[in-house]
Amino acid sequence: MSGAPAAPYLLHHLLERTAAAHPSKEALVDGERRLDYAAFREAAGRCAASLLAAGLAPRDRVAIHLPKSAEEAWAIFGASWAGGVFVPVNALLRPAQVRHIVEDCRVRFLITSAQRWETLRGEVATVERVLLVDDPSHWPASGVAVAPARIGEDLAAILYTSGSTGRPKGVMLSHRNLLAGSRIVSTYLGIRHDERILSVLPFSFDYGLNQLITATEHGATTVMLTFRFGEEIVRKIDAERCTALAGVPTIWAVLTQATPSFRKRKLESLRYITNSGGAVPTETVRQLREALPHVQLFLMYGLTEAFRSTYLPPSELDRRPGSMGKAIPETEIFLVNAQGERCKPGEAGILVHRGPTVSLGYWERPEETAAVLRPNPLIPPLQGADVVCYSGDLVRMDADGYFHFVGRNDAMIKSSGYRISPSEVEEVLMKGGALAQVAVIGLPDPVMGERVHAVAVAGAGGPPDKAELLAHCARELPPHMVPRDVEFVPELPRSPNGKVDYKLLKAERAAGTVKA
């Protein structure tokens, strides 16, 4: 490819443009390794050349199953450069879950490491070609083959997210979606070329991916960290003079409640922090501001199907405690009632998102796509197609246009920034045959937002050992999906149509009428 156009419209154009303008600027920090933008571009180019040489056709899916690393970063841009669709797979997922993603979107190419491939080999037989990042023979010395022509509306990525029922489904994002998300976030956060962004969220999460893209667009530095303890975050901020940190509520709880050095160190380099993936408790907000009085705190709300919807400017924290904020730039957010009419201020309704970050829908799930992406109810059909995203969340708006979360309108569990499908956890719990029935629900938790809780009916052999049951879950599921507890009951309540009454299960336990 001869270089990015003056106005980038494909994801990899951002890397090409920045590398041409600032080749020696530090781009990626991965432990002791440091790549400047010239090296970042060269690695992405080699990846693109390898994929094309291996027979990648336009829109072929390329799964990337790696820990947060420089390799994962250049593989994302390399897949885009080659004309493929990148599918970042969370490094915490178990082999069977990786298999579901690979088979669901018919992945042809898999980029991973030799160690991970050993655990996946028997699970992903449908993959046609595997490229190992630690095998030099899989990557040419240099050069990029000519990539196919595409436009911004073409499919760029598929991010897998759990819904309220069934297995995770792939949200399709165009190049236009990804570039719009970067542009919009950069606007209200004021991202600069001298930022050093500490990246602790996975690139399989739209929030984490956006950090990498915005940093690349502006020639900033992405400092990558996979952490177990809050002390590691504090040390990395200090050592790398990081200016930005994005997190989910769990991270802020860890820093404020279980990281003594967080209050002791001044972290003077830090300019702003951002939150999404769930509401931050008011007390945690207070503690963050107390520990970091010089740092701007942006609270945000979004969903993978439309990326980001609202943000609360730091200047409004005191005036609007608990608010989700206002619509992000270039976007209209409105609420509708059951009749599809716009809600009045103070009236609760479903949050609807209209703007350039609305996704292309779910991969090969037209009915589920149609339930979320619908014609704009406020515009007559004869005025042209205008697709908006229905969030499923109940929200109210005040007289000044600021939004406040009321509650979820589905059975999805949102814990520690992850959206969890109850049925996927239930399937694992039922595998051992010791349970006759189980229902998985989310219960309020001050740290995680919601904690995963299982309500089970024992099989003929009586209640199984709870510790063994949870250990089984830990072997089959990533940590955030493992129930915190299993509660045994004689039978599960049912609704009039014969289905398990999940709402009643949640309501009773949230109200304390049943010991959870």
Average of per-residue pLDDT across 341-370: 96
Burial class (CB in 10 A: 0-12, 13-18, 19+), 226: middle
Tell me which residue of 158, 247, 173, 237 sits closest to 207, measured CA to CA.
247
pLDDT of residue 206 exceeding 80: yes
Average of per-residue pLDDT across 321-350: 95
Average of per-residue pLDDT across 306-313: 97
Are 143 and 164 in contact by the 8 Å Cβ rule? The answer is no
The DSSP 8-state label assigned to residue 342 in this structure reads: B
Residues with Cβ within 8 Å of residue 324, at least 6 apart in sequence: 279, 299, 301, 310, 312, 395, 402, 403, 404, 405
Burial class (CB in 10 A: 0-12, 13-18, 19+), 292: buried
pLDDT of residue 212 exceeding 90: yes
pLDDT of residue 384 exceeding 80: no
Q: Which CATH class is domain 329-408?
A: mainly beta
Kindly state the tokens that stand for 129.
Answer: 């070609």
What is the structure's pLDDT at 309? 97
pLDDT-based confidence at residue 432 (cuts at 50, 70, 90): confident
Query: What is the per-residue pLDDT across 214-253, written as a single tens digit (0 to 9) for each?
Result: 999 999 999 999 998 999 999 999 999 999 999 988 899 8
pLDDT-based confidence at residue 205 (cuts at 50, 70, 90): very high
Torsion-angle region of residue 490: left (phi > 0), alpha (psi -120 to 50) or beta? Answer: alpha
Q: Is the dihedral of CA 252, 248, 212, 96 positive or negative?
A: positive
Residues with Cβ within 8 Å of residue 65, at least 6 apart in sequence: 89, 91, 93, 98, 110, 111, 112, 116, 120
What is the structure's pLDDT at 397? 96
CA end-to-end span of the chain: 59
Average of per-residue pLDDT across 429-443: 88
**What is the rounded CA–CA span in Å between residue 112 and residue 65?**
5
Counting residues of the chain whose pLDDT is more than 90, the rounded percentage is: 74
Three-state SS for 405-471 is EEEECCCCEEECCEEECHHHHHHHHHHCCCEEEEEEEEEEECCCEEEEEEEEEECCCCCCCHHHHHH
Place of tokens 């979320």: 372
pLDDT of residue 1 exceeding 50: no
Residues with Cβ within 8 Å of residue 320, at least 6 apart in sequence: 312, 398, 402
What is the structure's pLDDT at 164? 46
**What is the rounded CA–CA span in Å between residue 212 and residue 209?**
5
Task: Specify which of 226-235, 375-384, 428-437 reaches the highest per-range mean pLDDT.
Answer: 226-235
What is the structure's pLDDT at 516? 46
pLDDT-based confidence at residue 515 (cuts at 50, 70, 90): low
What is the structure's pLDDT at 436? 81
Query: What is the per-residue pLDDT across 128-176, written as a single tens digit (0 to 9) for each?
Result: 999 999 999 999 877 666 777 899 999 999 999 865 456 889 999 999 9
Kindly state the tokens that stand for 509.
Answer: 């336990």
Domain ranges of the chain: 11-226, 329-408, 415-511
Q: Which residue has the higher pLDDT, 320 or 279?
A: 320
pLDDT-based confidence at residue 327 (cuts at 50, 70, 90): very high
CA dihedral 159, 121, 71, 199 (to 10 degrees): 50
Q: Which CATH topology does 415-511 take?
A: GMP Synthetase; Chain A, domain 3 (3.30.300)
What is the structure's pLDDT at 502? 84
> Chain-wide mean pLDDT for the chain?
92
What is the structure's pLDDT at 231? 97
Rg (CA), the chain: 23
- What count of Cα atoms within 13 Å lies in the side-chain half-sphere of residue 356? 16
pLDDT-based confidence at residue 429 (cuts at 50, 70, 90): very high
Q: Which CATH topology does 11-226 take?
A: Rossmann fold (3.40.50)
Pairing of strands 387-397, 403-408: antiparallel
Query: What is the per-residue pLDDT across 25-40, written as a single tens digit (0 to 9) for each?
Result: 999 999 999 999 999 9
What is the structure's pLDDT at 381? 73
